Chain A
Amino acid sequence: MDEPGYFAVSRRGVLQSGAAGFAAGTVPGASVAFAAENKAGAIAVSRMPVRLEVNGEGHDLTLDTRTTLLDALREHLHMTGTKKGCDHGQCGACTVIVNGERINSCLSLAVMHEGDAITTIEGLGTPEAMHPMQAAFVKHDGYQCGYCTPGQICSAVAVLKEIAAGVPSHVTEDLGAPMQASNMEMRERMSGNICRCGAYSNIAEAMAQVAGESA
């Protein structure tokens, strides 16, 4: 059987140089040595202080700089409403709202969010006082297992704001006309949030209800 060929440059070498360049270029003020290898090949852990503003409350943390915003929320702040579905930006379960815009929190390092206003599913509402979108998901059964649900809801809230702000999408037919929260417009924008249980039809109805109420 044929053996696979090997690249001249090892994957590890590429990753090391890439990681160092990335860290140095994007985290100003970091005071700890980056990715310095000792003789045994161990990487010294780089830690940084960061203050996260989550749902209006400040949290002072000192984090391994490799910690994603997702893991900072789940493992350090024990706010587990934000879900880990793939950990590399393919499913949307980790969607949170940062400074008014939705992001995949698994693709963002926590230390990049000093001073940012972060809203998670816990901050949108409580079981006793649900956000209108949360209440609409319950009413229209816009979920089943519940695992993608926090990400769907954070996305849905942000999507209606994007439409209201006139941000165009791939399916927007007339860029000059007022933006409509049409079924296709919402579905297109929600397509980064996978629901394997297949609650899409119901999620569309929950969003249509909230869009109608706020229109």
Chain B
Amino acid sequence: MKYVEPVGETPIDRQRVVGRPTPRIEGPLKVTGRAHYAYERHDVVEDPLYGFVVGSAIAQGRVTGFDLAEAKAQPGVVEILTTTEMEALPLGLGNSTTLFGGDVIHHYHQAIALVVARSFEEARAAASRVRVSYARTPGHHDLASIADTAPFAKDGDKGPDVSALGDFEAAYAKAPVRIDATYTTPDESHAMMEPHATTAHWQGDKLTLWTSNQMISWGKDSIANVLGLKPENVRLDCPYLGGGFGAKLFLRADAVLAALGSKRTQRPVKVMLSRPLVFNNTTHRPATIQRLRFGADKDGRMTAFSHVCTSGNLPGGDIENGVSQSRLLYAAPNRYTAHRLAELDLPEGASMRAPGEAAGMMALEGAMDELAEALGMDPVELRIVNDTQVDPENPERKFSNRKLVECLRRGAEAFGWDARNTTPGGRREGRWLIGHGMAVGFRNSIPRKSAARVRLSGNGQVTVETDMTDIGTGTYTILAQTAAEMLGLPLEAVSVTLGDSDHPAACGSGGQWGAANSTSSVYAACVKVRETVATRLGFDPAKADFSDGSVHQGSESRPLADALGAGEIVVDESIEYGDLAEKFQQSTFAGHFVELAVDAYTGETQVRRMLACCEAGRILNPVSARSQVIGAMTMGVGAALTEELAVDTRYGFFVNHDLAGYEVPVHADIPHQEVIFLEELDPVASPMKAKGVGELGLCGVGAAVANALYNATGVRVREYPLTLDKYLDKLPAIA
């Protein structure tokens, strides 16, 4: 189905199954330990060998030699593969540096050897006996020291990544109220609970990878490219993965080394990156330095708006696009946004949940709070005054549906925003200083091609097959809901098979595009299934109504199963998009509100309340959609208060590379969280009239927390995360 015009009324609009709060259909398997992840495929792989990855101990330079005598003498060792025994492997999609091969070291903990042994214990012990010699060379490891000389990033073939409208400098100089603030965000780690893991097995020239990957078709093409295989000889299978948040978008060393180890030993080999290896071996969200300058009239209307973001990456790596939302969020006639990219010899920077906006809005929405303060204006009203219904850089282009103002007003009311104290540091309850903060959430909705197979058989059993993944997002359930709604069947009649590359290629899980596009592919397939059913039953496909296991037209009614006497119906279909995304800006919106308590004596912070009011089109399953948002809000608290990969700028690596040193939020940090969804449909975005929420829930949260800290204490911290050392000595006098 090519989606070129907004759809009218569809069977989905009935919302008998779609849109209803529905517990996850795979839930009972997960809570009883029966869902099998990549390293646990005893159901399909017998007696695998164990691979243990050795990471480089230097960040930059060359491996000059291996001494494997001692490691090879260890009991149980079957094979040892080293990086110097082959040329650097080609890059997979999205990789900016090679995953294995060659003697050049690009980053710390780059994979340099794989020890394959009969048991995990034997592989690990032998890996510790691999002796490596290196020639270390100096590199650039400190973003701040080279940021000022970093060149403008390139916007594809279009030259420097700079966007200008009107005359920013002149308007800024004339503006009666001005803000000039520089914020920094640190390197962050996805830290999903399941480390990267793959079980590999060759049968002849055919390779199967049971792996943990968000994007099965990308992964299949990448491993084929990296190892020089025909894609049709590769199968990936990933029914479950233990989180990803972007860390598993692209092929990583676990998959490559499991495949190489299995090839060499002619046995199944499984590899899980040890937790301390994950942080430097794989990818991270790059740190940013962001300068924001706003000029506004006294009524709060911005006349001049500038946001320049600087980040670093390995040569060939991408920017952390912190200005993405700034080009679309607020009206201002004179604008300047740009991105600078420094070459940095740290591990590979790449996408982490809401790449761009997550870091960009921590800065933008903090600076907006500063502007509200300078104007003496309610921060909510400042956002409303500067709302736009069109793309500010291209006013001909409207938003498909933009209900940001409604999100803010409704969220503020539900949160009790008006009852807050407006004098920073002015509210004290016992030992606690209490503050409130808000921020806007904004993230685009991205149409992407996605395919699925729908099989209708038996008495009306439906099977949905696609290589789409469920990374905790609730895919299993929303695909089943979609098929059940379209075919007028109960949810229990639908089973869903995910993550198998032998099935039609879906959009995958990334960029908060998974839900809208993958359900749209099932919708499209079901449209065709309905046509076949109606035709077989002698009904008009345009008029037939599918409900309660039957097909109805006028006064006539026949059981759906009657259509299956002539055999099962199988439809492979995809959703593709025309130019609606060029004609209309498609985005999602939120108002985030936070209440924070700060210990007046120790500076300890405690988030007391959080509320998000979101607009993301149709909410397909309010249960899993809400979970996506609260999970993202939780990640936002971490980004605001604790999460930071500490860079050793002498040797070029992330020092705190485990879950004790890299502090993600725990139960004690997170209170009850409220989420409100506006009841909106966006037929421009997708035939499901849905957009995404998984990243929207993160965007802006960090700033809302920081703004609450300012309101509680009167201390403005522009350097994330807001750790004690940055404000303890500035807290209000205690007595």
**Do A and B interact?**
yes
Which of A40, A41, A127 touches B34 (beta carbons < 8 Å)?
A127
Q: Are A138 and B658 in contact (CB under 8 A)?
A: no
Nearest A-chain residue to B671, judged by Cβ: A201
Interface residues contributed by chain A, number (CB under 8 Å): 76
Q: Are B28 and A87 in contact (CB under 8 A)?
A: no
**Could you list some 14 contacts between A and B, CB below 8 A?**
A41-B70, A41-B73, A42-B74, A64-B119, A64-B121, A66-B121, A83-B37, A144-B628, A144-B631, A146-B30, A197-B243, A198-B632, A199-B627, A201-B630
Q: Are A141 and B627 in contact (CB under 8 A)?
A: yes
Which candidate, B151-159, B189-197, B336-344, B539-547, is the interface stretch facing chain A? B189-197
Residues in A54-99 with C-beta less than 8 Å from chain B: 64, 66-67, 71, 74-75, 78-88, 90-91, 93
Instruction: Flag B322-341 by CB within 8 Å of A: 1 or 0 each.
Output: 00000000000000000000
Q: Are A138 and B275 in contact (CB under 8 A)?
A: no
Q: Are B193 and A85 in contact (CB under 8 A)?
A: yes
Residues in A101-129 with C-beta less than 8 Å from chain B: 120-122, 124-128
Query: Given contacts A126-B32, A127-B29, A200-B665, are A84 and B272 in contact (CB under 8 A)?
Result: yes
List the A side residues contacting B414 at CB < 8 Å.
Answer: none
Q: Is B530 an interface residue (CB 8 A)?
A: no
CA distance A65 to B267 in the complex (A): 25
B704 to chain A, nearest CB (A): 15
CA distance A121 to B40 in the complex (A): 15
Query: Given contacts A83-B242, A196-B193, are A124 and B667 in contact (CB under 8 A)?
Result: no
Which candidate, A21-29, A160-168, A184-192, is the interface stretch facing chain B? A184-192
Query: Given contacts A86-B659, A124-B32, are A66 and B125 in contact (CB under 8 A)?
Result: yes
The 9 closest A-B pairs by CB, nearest first: A81-B33, A147-B242, A198-B634, A144-B472, A198-B631, A145-B472, A146-B30, A80-B40, A127-B28
Q: Are A187 and B667 in contact (CB under 8 A)?
A: yes
A190 to chain B, nearest CB (A): 4
Sample of 7 further A-B pairs with CB below 8 A, known A196-B245, A197-B193: A40-B70, A42-B75, A138-B23, A141-B23, A146-B35, A194-B664, A199-B627
CA distance A66 to B76 in the complex (A): 14
List the B side residues contacting A43 at CB < 8 Å.
Answer: 74-75, 125
A210 to chain B, nearest CB (A): 13
A92 to chain B, nearest CB (A): 9
Instruction: Flag B661-680 by CB within 8 Å of A: 1 or 0 each.
Output: 00011111111110000000
Q: Is A209 an interface residue (CB 8 A)?
A: no
Nearest B-chain residue to A85, judged by Cβ: B193
Instruction: Flag B640-654 by CB within 8 Å of A: 1 or 0 each.
Output: 000000000011000
Q: Are B667 and A188 in contact (CB under 8 A)?
A: yes
Which of B193, B665, B666 touches A93 (beta carbons < 8 Å)?
B193
CA distance A148 to B650 in the complex (A): 35
Which of B33, B274, B473, B651 touches A80 (beta carbons < 8 Å)?
B33
A96 to chain B, nearest CB (A): 11
List the A side residues contacting B198 at CB < 8 Å.
Answer: none
B375 to chain A, nearest CB (A): 34
Q: Is A33 an interface residue (CB 8 A)?
A: no
Interface residues contributed by chain B, number (CB under 8 Å): 76
Q: Is B166 an interface residue (CB 8 A)?
A: no
List the B side residues contacting A85 at CB < 8 Å.
Answer: 193-195, 242, 275, 659
List the A side residues contacting B23 at CB < 8 Å.
Answer: 138-139, 141
List the B side residues contacting A199 at CB < 8 Å.
Answer: 627, 630-631
CA distance A66 to B125 in the complex (A): 10
Instruction: Flag B3-29 by CB within 8 Å of A: 1 or 0 each.
Output: 000000000000000000001101111
List the A side residues contacting B36 at CB < 8 Å.
Answer: 80
Q: Are B73 and A87 in contact (CB under 8 A)?
A: no
List the B side residues contacting A120 at CB < 8 Å.
Answer: 33
Q: Is B69 an interface residue (CB 8 A)?
A: yes
List the B side residues contacting A42 at CB < 8 Å.
Answer: 70, 73-75
Query: Given contacts A145-B472, A147-B242, A204-B667, are A194 and B659 in contact (CB under 8 A)?
Result: yes
Q: Are A44 and B75 in contact (CB under 8 A)?
A: yes
Residues in A18-56 with C-beta less than 8 Å from chain B: 38, 40-45
Q: Are B193 and A138 in contact (CB under 8 A)?
A: no
Q: Are A86 and B658 in contact (CB under 8 A)?
A: yes
Residues in B607-659 with C-beta less than 8 Å from chain A: 623-624, 626-628, 630-635, 650-651, 658-659
A194 to chain B, nearest CB (A): 6
List the B side residues contacting A200 at CB < 8 Å.
Answer: 634, 665-667, 669-670
CA distance A25 to B36 in the complex (A): 38
Which of A93, A137, A145, A190 touches B31 (beta carbons < 8 Å)?
A137
CA distance A120 to B136 in the complex (A): 47
Q: Is B722 an interface residue (CB 8 A)?
A: no
Residues in B664-713 with C-beta less than 8 Å from chain A: 664-673
CA distance A124 to B732 in the complex (A): 51
Nearest A-chain residue to B470, judged by Cβ: A145
B444 to chain A, nearest CB (A): 22
Most buried by A among B32, B129, B658: B32
B58 to chain A, nearest CB (A): 11
Q: Are B136 and A1 in contact (CB under 8 A)?
A: yes
Most buried by A among B76, B194, B195, B632: B194
Query: Given contacts A71-B120, A145-B192, are A204 and B31 in contact (CB under 8 A)?
Result: no
CA distance A64 to B122 in the complex (A): 9
